[in-house]
Structure 1
Amino acid sequence: MSETMRIGAFLLAAGFPGRSDADVLDSCVATAVAAEEAGFDDVWVAEHHFMSYGRVPSAVTMAGYLLGATSRVAVGTAVSVLSTVHPVALAEQALLLDQVSGGRFRLGVGRGGPWVDLEAFGTGADRVGDGFAESLDLLLRALRGGPVAASGERFAFREVDVGPVPRTAPHPPVVLAVTSPQGRALAAARGLPMLLGMHAGDAEKAEFVRAHGGAGHVSVAVAHVEDTRAGAQALLRASLPRWLGPGLAGYRRVDDVPRRPRDPVEYTDLLCRLHAVGTPDDAVARLAEGAARTGVDHVLLMVEGSGDRARVLDNVRRLGAEVLPRLRATRAA
């Protein structure tokens, strides 16, 4: 673990009830710009299809826009859903952003779930299961640029010259979203750092890091600061269920097997217990504790929990002024 933390913003473009898509997406862009101004190291954007949980259907497209709207921060996808796209097409987009951004682009990928997306995009349910490793391997080969051919079970084509060539050697940085031991083993086998979600606690993340054995992992956490801990938690307990209820229900299985979404109130309580929701002092202590327990020194802060543009921007500014410098100083001491 390094002596300093890398701290990013994690943007879902959450579709809170009563907010138009234009308002949500404009706020997402404004939050990314504010994060750069506040001293965050990077900005990562999520991808979701056909649901209000997140209103960005193409993380790589939004990342390209945010790279143009910023000048210093790295910008990544958290994640691009590899199971719904052709790996070579995603590699071409990543290589393009790597070049035109001067190496500021980061590619996070994940398998997604057995959702209706697989039917809509015609990729098939197997791409989430046994086919995911083949997709990932083809993506990694293509990201190196140059001649690529495939003769696998799901991808077979004659040699093509993939470009542009990567600016960042050997290819743009890649992280793999991991939620299971199988995903962890795949990340370790391919030498990829893991992206660990905000639903997992420190003990689970620490075990994944130990079992993986590598470094450079990234962890997602909720962060919202107010003058009092009670005020911060009351705000999120009022706002998050309004978003999580319809948002989580938007996940539809491609096989129509009934599923029970997480209870939004219980999930909100879990997030408030696990993460940096409180005063700036609380946030510094909680984030430092999490890094020490997990061994992960790159954290992405989900800052949009209030669902209100002005409050989100104020949260980003306060985190930048009252949390990030102290957290970095604490880690470097």
Structure 2
Amino acid sequence: MRCGYFAMPLHPPGADPARTMEEDLEQLVTLDRLGFEEAWIGEHFTAMWENIPCPDLFIAKALALTQTMKLGTGVSCLPNHSPLMLAQRIAQLDQMARGRFYWGVGSGGFPGDFEVVGVDPKSGEQREITRAVLDLILELWNDPKPGLYESKYWRFRIPEPQEDIGLRLHLRPYQRPHPPIGVAGVSAKSETLVLAGERGYIPMSINFVPPRILRTHWDAVAAGAQRVGRVADRSSWRIARDVYVADTNAEARREALAGPLARDYRDYFLRLLAKIRGLEMIKVDPAMPDSDVTLPYLLDNIWIVGDPDTVAAKLAKLRDEVGGFGALLVIAHEWRPQAAWERSMVLLREQVLPRLAS
């Protein structure tokens, strides 16, 4: 099982952005040194908890501070962007990364972000826009023909080239035909993950859904692949999880419930889900009442918390329950206390993952 990181990131409203971004970068430097293979960085305009609106800028700095870790947008919310401008920014970032970049794409999910760009999520138009923007960016990278590009959602013009003086739309990604593309799924039977299967993109599953929903995520990937005569490869599937490892189970459980992991669910995720999606997606049994979705419930059923043996067993069980997957993406939380969280990452990398390999 490969191991990576997913930084939404998570910081309480009122936190100093300059400080939290520096701390997020320091986490990546540590994880790169420990051998974490990849990290994905979120994009949100109106979520104070998830306070990075421009993951490409963050990644550009992280590339200079890390050595081997691949970095990805997690995700570029395509309805938020001009196709031309995003194509240029991602192409430049990929050139700077020289093969250490994944391009995560999606439609977004925050009502405030949709309102900013004038998208009505109830109509489902965000999915239509996402496919259209993605296809257009791939076209611009492959063959940027001069002319007017116009739709309901954008309008721009590519000028005729003047080859004698080197004027043309020219920049393409370093990785050809494009950087590896990842897409994230949240809901059961995610249509986004059907697209991943159709096109051979990297499928990623969000952190708080139980195995009953994760299984439908892979079903969606497999259905998309079958639709075009492909066979989906489980080794490409990333599953995100909240993970905390300590020397003993008692220590791990106590620290998880007293620290940033519990705070981020109590003060943010549970409130957010109750308001915009409902808590059903976080339940192992859809019939259980909302009142049963408590921090102890999450500790026992959703989070991966314990000593190295327990965490390895929980990850092995998850792998068996969903039929197999290729990479674990550990969700980023604030490392407070620093030493305990850093030790958690060391234990995961040096004691848990070798147990799974054997």
Q: What TM-score, normalized by structure 1, do the two folds share?
A: 0.83
Task: State how far apart, in whole Å, the 1-side matches of 2:110 and 2:6 are.
Answer: 24
Query: Residues 269 and 142 from structure 1, CA distance in 2 versus in 1: closer, same or farther, beyond 3 angstroms?
Result: farther
Tell me the residue number matched to 1:210: 219
Rg comparison, structure with higher value:
2
- Shift of residue 49 of structure 1? 2.4
Unpaired runs of 5+ residues, structure 2, are 160-167, 223-231, 280-289
- Give, as a single letter, the amino acid of the residue that structure 1 aligns with 2:153: R
Aligned counterparts, 1:71-90, within 5 A: 71-90=67-86
- Give, as a single letter, the amino acid of the residue that structure 1 aligns with 2:4: G
Query: Residues 72 and 93 from structure 1, CA distance in 2 versus in 1: closer, same or farther, beyond 3 angstroms?
Result: same
Task: State how far apart, in whole Å, the 1-side matches of 2:74 and 2:252 are.
Answer: 25
Please state if 1:164 is matched with 2:171: yes
Tell me the residue number matched to 1:286: 314
Aligned counterparts, 1:1-333, within 5 A: 5-16=1-12, 19-113=15-109, 115-120=111-116, 122-125=117-120, 127-144=125-142, 146-147=144-145, 150-159=149-158, 162-180=169-187, 181=189, 182-213=191-222, 214-215=232-233, 216-239=236-259, 240-248=261-269, 259=276, 266=293, 268-269=295-296, 271-272=298-299, 273-294=301-322, 295-304=324-333, 307-327=336-356, 329-330=357-358
**2:76 aligns to what SS in structure 1?**
strand
Query: Residues 59 and 271 from structure 1, CA distance in 2 versus in 1: closer, same or farther, beyond 3 angstroms?
Result: farther
- Shift of residue 138 of structure 1? 2.0
**1:277 aligns to what SS in structure 2?**
strand
Moved more, 190-199 or 15-24: 15-24
Task: State how far apart, in whole Å, the 2-side matches of 1:308 and 1:52 are.
Answer: 22
Task: State how far apart, in whole Å, the 1-side matches of 2:118 and 2:314 are.
Answer: 41
Whether the aligned pair in 2 keeps the contact of 1:237 and 1:265 (CA below 8 Å) is: no
Task: State how far apart, in whole Å, the 1-side matches of 2:193 and 2:200 are.
Answer: 10
- Shift of residue 278 of structure 1? 0.8
**1:26 aligns to what SS in structure 2?**
helix
Whether the aligned pair in 2 keeps the contact of 1:11 and 1:303 (CA below 8 Å) is: yes
**1:230 aligns to what SS in structure 2?**
helix
Structure showing greater relative contact order (alpha-carbon pairs closer than 8 Å, 6 or more residues apart): 1
**1:116 aligns to what SS in structure 2?**
helix
Moved more, 242-251 or 103-112: 242-251
Identity %, equivalent residues: 26
Query: Residues 146 and 287 from structure 1, CA distance in 2 versus in 1: closer, same or farther, beyond 3 angstroms?
Result: farther
**2:72 aligns to what SS in structure 1?**
strand
RMSD: 3.0
Q: Once the two structures are superposed, what CA deviation does each residue of 1:25-47 show, in whole Å capped at 9, x if it has no partner? A: 22211110000111111122222
- Shift of residue 245 of structure 1? 4.3
Query: Residues 18 and 119 from structure 1, CA distance in 2 versus in 1: closer, same or farther, beyond 3 angstroms?
Result: closer
How many residues of Structure 1 are paired with residues of Structure 2 in the alignment? 319
Whether the aligned pair in 1 keeps the contact of 2:37 and 2:69 (CA below 8 Å) is: yes
Moved more, 278-287 or 308-317: 308-317
Task: State how far apart, in whole Å, the 1-side matches of 2:90 and 2:220 are.
Answer: 29
Task: State how far apart, in whole Å, the 2-side matches of 1:91 and 1:292 are.
Answer: 39
- Give, as a single letter, the amino acid of the residue that structure 1 aligns with 2:134: L
Query: Residues 19 and 158 from structure 1, CA distance in 2 versus in 1: closer, same or farther, beyond 3 angstroms?
Result: closer
Task: State how far apart, in whole Å, the 1-side matches of 2:139 and 2:181 are.
Answer: 12
- Give, as a single letter, the amino acid of the residue that structure 1 aligns with 2:195: L
